[in-house]
Amino acid sequence: MSLNRSEKEAVISEVTSLAAKAQTLVMAEYRGITVASMDKLRVTARSSGVSLSVLKNTLVRRAVAGSAFEVAADQMSGPLIYGFSEDAVAAAKVVAEFAKTNDKLVIRGGVYAGKVLDVEGVKQLASIPSKEVLLAQVCGLLMSPMSRTAVVLGALAAKKAEGEAAEAPAAEEAPAAPDAPAAEEAPAA
């Protein structure tokens, strides 16, 4: 399918805007993948906030010129699917997870923070937990000292309450001092 000049310009501007917002680019070869599998991949990508597209390599090279993704221009050859994501790990995670179950999708490389990633680099990036998981872990670390302190203080309060409860019955069992004066003893005869 041949694109006319205005369609090519539209594709270039769309990819340029994607590249401007994205932190990560992942490229994978999709030769031999069925349409149903490709649709499943696109649905997964869309739900993860990843823009996944099959694009002409020359148009992508023009679109990323001058951006952080320009460093991967020499890898842009062959039938590639491009995944852009604003989340640093989302694109790598979606493509790597799909590649585990479908051997027809072959990861070619990617770019993160202006650095070219090889296949292993993309897989390592995919193994990093998502932003939400990392934030939850940080919150857990911050909450840990506070929760430990609360547990210790709760245990001390319970121990103190047990001690006071044990002293109270002991005080009740002691003989009470008579309120009335004691009877006078009879003199000895």
The reply to whether 92 and 138 lie within a common domain is no
Question: Can you tell me the distance from the alpha carbon of 14 to that of 106, in angstroms, rounded to the nearest whole number?
Answer: 25
Cα–Cα–Cα angle for 102, 103, 107, rounded to 5 degrees:
100
The reply to whether 86 and 124 lie within a common domain is yes
Query: In total, how many domains does the chain have?
Result: 2
The reply to whether 65 and 119 lie within a common domain is yes
The reply to whether 49 and 96 lie within a common domain is yes
The reply to whether 121 and 151 lie within a common domain is no
The reply to whether 28 and 119 lie within a common domain is yes
The reply to whether 27 and 108 lie within a common domain is yes
For 20-65, the pLDDT digits (tens) are 899 999 999 999 899 999 999 999 999 989 999 999 999 999 999 8
Global confidence as pTM:
0.68
Domain with 35 in it: 8-128
Q: Is 188 a member of any domain?
A: no
For 160-187, the pLDDT digits (tens) are 888 777 776 655 555 555 555 555 555 5
118 membership: H or E segment, kind and range: none
| Residue 90 CB coordination number (10 Å) | 24
Residue position matching structure tokens 């000292």: 145
